[in-house]
Copies of this chain bind each other. A is one copy, B any other.
Amino acid sequence: MNIAILGTGGVGRTIASHLANRGLTVCMGSRSADNPVAVQWASTAGSNASHATFASAAAASQLLFNCTSGQASLAALQSIPAADLSGKILIDLANPLDYSSGSLRLTVCNTDSLGEQIQRACPGARVVKAFNTMNAAVMVNPALVPGPHELLLCGNDPAAKAEVSALLSTWFGWQHILDLGDLTHARGMEMLLPAWISISQALGSYHFNFHIAR
């Protein structure tokens, strides 16, 4: 399986490196073919690591991780021809965070979500919202946080969710995965972010996760 990591930030690099280290073929996509961060990453991540534009990375891959920043996600995905997204699983990790006013706000919430916007913009993709509620180090190593804690996900395609659950369990060791239902539940998953940030400030740490005690 060839995997496209869309985005060159800390989340994208963490997942890309982890998958390349496992021997998977990983292409890091960005706006330009010569993005210096992507060039640097590919040059140090092994022979199965490469970099390309968003469109070329998607065309070469069967599975996509959207690790772009939330405000850049739609433009990034709309730069990919529909045929190169059609039928492919797109794991959406992005959060619609906006700090431009000096404090946090979400650019979309409550009656819509970034996950739903992405699915509408890319109707042929099989969007699964996942991983947006934790730090990248926890995504690829859930054992970093002791005890049980959950990977939340949602999406409109049950088969895509089942495949994503199996892959994230295999690749990263996720044991507790809670499927919240269709993609409208991305609203709640993205609206967890303000509390996540408050909690990280209160704890002075990013190495935590929500556990649904029951």
Residue A44 at the B interface, CB < 8 A? no
- The interface residues of chain B lying within 8 Å CB-to-CB of A193 are 188
> Are A207 and B214 within 8 A (Cβ)?
yes
Q: Given the known inter-chain contacts A178-B202, A192-B195, please indicate yes or no for A210 contacting B208, CB distance below 8 A.
A: no
Closest to A176 in B: B213
Contact bitstring A142-154, B, C-beta under 8 A = 1, else 0: 0001111100101
Q: Which of B145, B203, B213 contacts A147 (CB 8 A)?
A: B213
- The interface residues of chain B lying within 8 Å CB-to-CB of A212 are 199, 203, 208-211
| Bound-complex Cα distance A205 to B180 (A) | 13
| Bound-complex Cα distance A109 to B205 (A) | 25
> Are A198 and B185 within 8 A (Cβ)?
yes
Closest to A101 in B: B111
- The interface residues of chain B lying within 8 Å CB-to-CB of A110 are 105-106, 109-110, 194
A138-197, CB < 8 A from B? 145-149, 152, 154, 178-181, 184-185, 187-189, 191-197
Residue A100 at the B interface, CB < 8 A? no
Closest to A145 in B: B213
**Min CB distance, A136 to chain B, in Å?**
16
- The interface residues of chain B lying within 8 Å CB-to-CB of A185 are 194-195, 198
Q: Given the known inter-chain contacts A213-B145, A214-B203, please indicate yes or no for A188 contacting B181, CB distance below 8 A.
A: no
> Are A214 and B205 within 8 A (Cβ)?
yes
Other CB < 8 Å A-B pairs besides A109-B110, A209-B213, 9 of them? Answer: A109-B109, A148-B213, A154-B198, A179-B202, A191-B195, A199-B212, A203-B214, A205-B214, A211-B213
A residues near B (Cβ < 8 Å) are 103, 105-106, 109-111, 145-149, 152, 154, 178-181, 184-185, 187-189, 191-199, 201-203, 205, 207-214
